[in-house]
Amino acid sequence: METIMSARCRLLLAVSLLGVASVALAQDLPENMPKRKPGLWEMQSTGMGGQPQVMKLCLDESTDRDMYKMGAQMSGHVCSKFNVSVQGSTVVSEAVCRVDGPSGPINLTTHSETRFDGNTSYQTQGHMTYDPPVMGRSEMAMNSSGRWVGECPAGQKPGDMVMPNGTTMNIKDMQRH
């Protein structure tokens, strides 16, 4: 049972991160992309009918930029289409991607709108469709939000992300592997 839950959590996390970070997956980012304030960010996402997933990320300007670059590299490998536009304080993205799932390739189509409130918070509403269905679902609404909560705690460095289960990983380290 733990293996099934672990696989489900990994898949949910991967799908959630794709949805939450969909803005960062553009190959050519608009010059006027909103920037997030350096410090500790709390990000919450909901989808697939489960409990909200909360992650914390220690962010600086370099890490924010590197996350966009990492997303651009990922999108070039898995997305046949990715459009991003900035309309005032709203970033609209649409993508068609092919990702590996537990039972084979999954065609994923997404549309999301992220509204920034200055550089200290954002709200994202998105919709994803899957072909073939994932865990019995062919579509999912995804809502996420992020808010700046203060300075990064002592001992955390930019790129450190605390996952919902308490595990910490560093996004910058992931880029090196």
State pLDDT tens for residues 112-164. Answer: 999 999 999 999 999 999 899 887 889 989 899 999 999 999 999 999 999 98
The predicted structure's pLDDT at residue 135: 79
Alpha carbon distance 63, 15 (integer Å):
21
Please tell me the distance from the alpha carbon of residue 12 to that of residue 155, in angstroms, as a whole number.
Answer: 28
Computed on alpha carbons and rounded to an integer, the radius of gyration of the chain in Å comes to 16
Q: Which pLDDT does position 72 carry in this prediction?
A: 62
* Mean pLDDT estimate for the chain: 79
Average pLDDT over residues 44-62: 85
* Contact present, 105 and 57 (Cβ < 8 Å): no
At residue 78, φ and ψ (nearest 5 deg) are -120, -15
pLDDT tens-place string over residues 24-44? 443 456 778 888 999 999 999
The answer to whether the CB of 124 falls within 8 A of the CB of 142 is: yes
**Would you state the pLDDT for residue 29?**
66
**pLDDT in the model for residue 76:** 64
What CA–CA distance (Å, rounded) separates 157 from 171?
10
Predicted confidence (pLDDT) per residue in 71-126, tens digit? 666 666 788 888 888 999 998 988 898 888 878 899 999 999 999 999 999 999 99
Does the predicted model carry a pTM greater than 0.85? no
